[in-house]
Structure 1
Amino acid sequence: GKPSKTLALHRGIYARNGEARGIVHTHSTHLVALTLAGVWHDDDVLPPITPYYVMKVGHVPLLRYKRPGDLQVAEQIAALAGTVRAVLLERLGPVVWERSVAQASYVLEELEETARLWLMTNPRPLPLDEAALEELKTVFGARW
């Protein structure tokens, strides 16, 4: 059969991140909704509001809308593949990579649930402060 329109995207991640052995791309409701409602920042779609988001997910940049399968998206993701473990595609959903599909799924679950928390809280919670972030990096090796 015909290969997936995201084949170049997957190949780019594997080529740029030697630890990546599994990629998960979904159209998860809360993350797509986040792109429609407005992300926190383009470089960080969600603030660090929970310790597990900081420890399991880390920074997640937004990639502005391009049609599914656009090679520019594959190139953008490949350029980021060694520095983050996920990106959020505007109006499409997340792409997450890790050492296995199972680990990528765990990251995706935490990312989706944090988006859900962020979207359902009003007023929006403040991010964890710098001291808390430093402690998570020191004690747990969080990549924040």
Structure 2
Amino acid sequence: MSALEDLLAAGVRVVGEGLSPGTSGNLSVRDGDRILLSGTGVSLGRMRPEQVAVLDLQGRHLEGAKPSKEWPLHVAFYQRDPGHRAVVHVHSPSTVAVSCLRPWSDHSAVPPLTPYFVMRVGQTPLLPYRPPGDPGLGEDLRDCPWELRAALLSNHGSVLAGAKLDEAVDRAVELEEACRITLLTDGLARRELDADAITALARQWSSPWGTRTTLGTPRR
């Protein structure tokens, strides 16, 4: 399956999973030195090839549709880590709701309530509020001091990366579920995973938790 076919299939999947109401959200996949990104105002479940934009790795528009205004988020993830080959940004209900709350900690807005969140997503910091499409969203993500493969955008939604689109969508589904459980248990005497359990899960599944990244290093 080509990168374009992967992108179109992922659009159908995120809508089917209930992660992308209306024309919200955007997806991208890295294809060599190009980024294929859903166009602006596109319903992801009905996205057609001519509605896909092509950017370079600096975010310059090369061809195709007008890119989503959230393109800085996608470029930032690819610049943070060359291992990221796909990015999903959605406004799914529970992640938006948790993005409107005070974060659980500096390194993760979402508490460690289930092993699956720690294993599949990892720490998910809350980035500062900026208007949709603000280039600063990309700067905040690129320069976030925590190791991450997911983040919440204050009062906005989530952004996640993976080595392929299926992996990034899987993480978006898991993060939505973790946020739903967070909301269901908010204000209750809930039990979080203890530090030893989190450390063991993060080590076994190579998941970021409580770890910082090195800022100022060259990015490819």
The TM-score with structure 1 as length reference comes to 0.89
What per-residue deviation string (whole Å, max 9, x for no partner) do you get for residues 18-55 of structure 1?
A: 01111000001001111224332343111111111111
After TM superposition, the structure 1 = structure 2 runs for residues 41-56 of structure 1, keeping only pairs within 5 Å, are 41-56=105-120
After TM superposition, the structure 1 = structure 2 runs for residues 78-89 of structure 1, keeping only pairs within 5 Å, are 78-80=142-144, 83-89=147-153
What per-residue deviation string (whole Å, max 9, x for no partner) do you get for residues 54-95 of structure 1?
A: 111111111121101111111111123982001101111000
Partner letter of residue 130 of structure 1? A
> 2:169 aligned to 81, 99, 105, which one?
105
What is residue 125 of structure 1 aligned with on the other side? Answer: 190
Structure 2: any 5+ residue segments left out of the alignment? 1-64, 210-220
Partner letter of residue 208 of structure 2? R
What is residue 200 of structure 2 aligned with on the other side? Answer: 135
For the Cα contact (< 8 Å) 1:35–1:90, is it kept in 2?
A: yes
Partner letter of residue 2 of structure 1? K
After TM superposition, the structure 1 = structure 2 runs for residues 1-144 of structure 1, keeping only pairs within 5 Å, are 1-80=65-144, 83-121=147-185, 122-144=187-209
Q: How many Å separate the matches in 1 of 2:101 and 2:79?
A: 33
1:141, CA displacement in angstroms? 3.4
Q: How many Å separate the matches in 2 of 1:78 and 1:89?
A: 13
The TM-score with structure 2 as length reference comes to 0.60
What per-residue deviation string (whole Å, max 9, x for no partner) do you get for residues 84-121 of structure 1?
A: 00110111100001101110111111111011011012
Q: How many Å separate the matches in 1 of 2:85 and 2:144?
A: 16
Q: How many Å separate the matches in 2 of 1:25 and 1:14?
A: 14
Q: How many Å separate the matches in 2 of 1:27 and 1:50?
A: 22
Q: How many Å separate the matches in 2 of 1:7 and 1:138?
A: 32
Partner letter of residue 200 of structure 2? E
Higher strand proportion (structure 1 or 2): 2
For the Cα contact (< 8 Å) 1:17–1:81, is it kept in 2?
A: no
For the Cα contact (< 8 Å) 1:12–1:77, is it kept in 2?
A: yes
Q: What's the secondary structure of 2:152's corresponding residue?
A: strand
Higher helix proportion (structure 1 or 2): 1
Partner letter of residue 86 of structure 1? A
The root-mean-square deviation of aligned C-alpha atoms, in Å, is 1.9
Q: What's the secondary structure of 2:100's corresponding residue?
A: helix
